[in-house]
Amino acid sequence: MSTAERRFTVAVVGATGAVGETMLAILAERQFPVGKLIALASERSAGGDVLFAGRKVDVHDLAKFDPTGVDIALFSAGGSVSKEYGPKFAAAGAVVIDNSSAFRYDDDVPLVVSEVNPEAVKNRPRGIIANPNCSTMQMLVALAPIHREYGIERINVATYQSVSGAGRSALEELGRQTGALLNFQEADPQRFPVQIAFNLIPHIDDFMENGYTKEEMKLVWETRKILGDDSIQVNPTAVRVPVFYGHSEAVAIETTRKVTPEAARALLENAPGVEVVDERKPGGYPTPVTHASGNDAVYVGRIREDFSHPRGLNLWIVSDNIRKGAALNAVQLAELVAKEG
Ligand code: A2P
């Protein structure tokens, strides 16, 4: 069978989750050559169904599933599920594309943004490819072209991360708390440590010994690994905000060679996966709701010289964290694998 005709048995692990459901939608939307689609989740969802390409697909219990025959497995069911089942799927012959942080920092697992380092998918001795963290993903789609031309030495970034990054239960919590508070009831935080509706929380993932959170350190570790440059300094603050879909980032970079806003704009206008929205007037910038949510691009605006540094540039980077930040990039990696034949 020629490569053009080949169809793949694709398993989506975590198919009932916020990312898994979008993986299914994007596989269909981009007409990925799926021969057979297998939807997997926990025991509690088994027996139910999910939608793929307009039809219902049964959900199976991951713990009881035999991975023999799966060509490509997209995992988005959390780190512990990936750690336990990812290697089993790979041993059975599947290429595992993992959205968790379980393998991202292993030297023998490539960490790939499809627009930045696509060639890295080929070098996967364990049969596992890692999908980067959503915040790193959108930041690097925009910064990699600037790094290649001008050399980025340091990145200061504050993130404004939507609740969908924390999964379906977090989306529900924001909705529930918003309704409760508007009806003069208690917020009753469960998924987040404090109230998220009408608030923001400077804490995502566990605290580390150095005072940063793990979500912040992911930006440091992953930027260096993906750009293949351990000398890049990254200083992140990650904040959860009461937005349903779409992460935003206020980014200040320092480059080796000075890059003007005009040069950066020209570079980004031609960069794959990037859309520049940068008019200096009300509404002339991207926001999660007006631009990112439900769309594929990484939007960049507010491009301006950092007047506090001779080689500094500021950018505002917004993208749908569930799409480019997770599901879309995973499917793009699957497309790269499928092209290998
Ligand atoms: P389930 O719906 O059966 O719990 P989200 O990040 O939106 O919360 O989604 C997490 C996804 O991971 C869901 O599809 C969830 O399935 C799945 N999942 C969580 N724990 C397990 C597990 N132990 N085995 C298989 N799937 C799991």
Query: DSSP per residue over 18-52, as a string?
Result: HHHHHHHHHHHHTT--EEEEEEEE-TTTTT-EEEE
**Residue 80 in contact with ligand 1 by CB distance below 6 A:** no
Q: What is residue 166's DSSP assignment?
A: G
What does the pLDDT look like over 253-307, one tens digit per residue?
Answer: 999 999 999 999 999 999 999 999 999 999 999 999 999 999 999 999 999 999 9
Buried b (16+ CB within 10 A) or exposed e, 81-117: bbeebbbebbeeebbbbbbbbbbbeeeebbbbbbbbb
Instruction: Check residue 4 and give its pLDDT.
Output: 57
* Domain layout of the chain by residue ranges: 8-132+326-340, 136-321
pLDDT in tens, 169-216: 999 999 999 999 999 999 999 999 999 999 999 999 999 999 999 999
Tokens of 320: 């749908």
The Å distance, Cα 217 to ligand 1 centre, comes to: 25
pLDDT at 320 over 90: yes
What average pLDDT does range 116-144 have in this prediction? 98
- Residue 313 is predicted with a pLDDT of 98
Does any ligand 1 atom lie closer than 6 A to the CB of residue 42? yes
pTM, to two decimals: 0.97
248 annotated ligand-binding residue = no
Supply the DSSP symbol for 207: B
Rounded to whole angstroms, the maximal C-alpha distance in the chain is 64
**Ligand 1: centre distance to CA 42 (Å):** 6
Q: Whose CA is nearest to atom 12 of ligand 1?
A: 77
Please check the confidence at residue 240 and state whether its pLDDT lies above 80.
Answer: yes
Supply the residue whose CA is at minimum distance from atom 8 of ligand 1: 167
Residue-averaged pLDDT of the chain: 97
Q: Where would I find the H helices in 67-129?
A: 79-91
* Contacts for 309 with CB less than 8 Å, ≥ 6 apart: 252, 254
Q: Of all protein residues, whose CA lies closest to atom 22 belonging to ligand 1?
A: 42
* Cβ 20 under 6 angstroms from ligand 1: yes
pLDDT band at 238 (very low <50, low <70, confident <90, very high): very high
Ligand 1 mean position to 22 CA, how many Å?
A: 14
Residue 81: CB within 6 Å of ligand 1? yes
pLDDT of residue 5: 77
Quickly name the fold that domain 136-321 has.
Dihydrodipicolinate Reductase; domain 2 (3.30.360)
CATH number 1.20.1740.10 given to 8-132+326-340 = no
Q: Which residues carry out catalysis?
A: 134, 247
Is 159 a known ligand-binding residue? no
Q: Where do we find the tokens 């699957």?
A: 334
Alpha carbon of 336 to ligand 1 centroid (Å): 26
Assigned token pair, 24? 């299914």
Q: Which residues pair with 301 in a beta bridge?
A: 316
139 contacts 223 by C-beta, under 8 angstroms = yes
Please choose, from the candidates 84, 88, 89, the residue with its C-alpha nearest in 3D space to the C-alpha of residue 72: 89
Please say if the pLDDT value at position 130 is more than 90. Answer: yes
pLDDT digits (tens, 9 = 90+) for 214-227: 999 999 999 999 99
Answer whether residue 141 shows pLDDT above 60: yes
Is residue 79 in contact with ligand 1, taking CB distance under 6 Å?
no
Please indicate whether residue 12, judged by its CB atom, sits closer than 6 Å to ligand 1: no
Question: Which atom of ligand 1 is closest in space to residue 78's alpha carbon?
Answer: 12
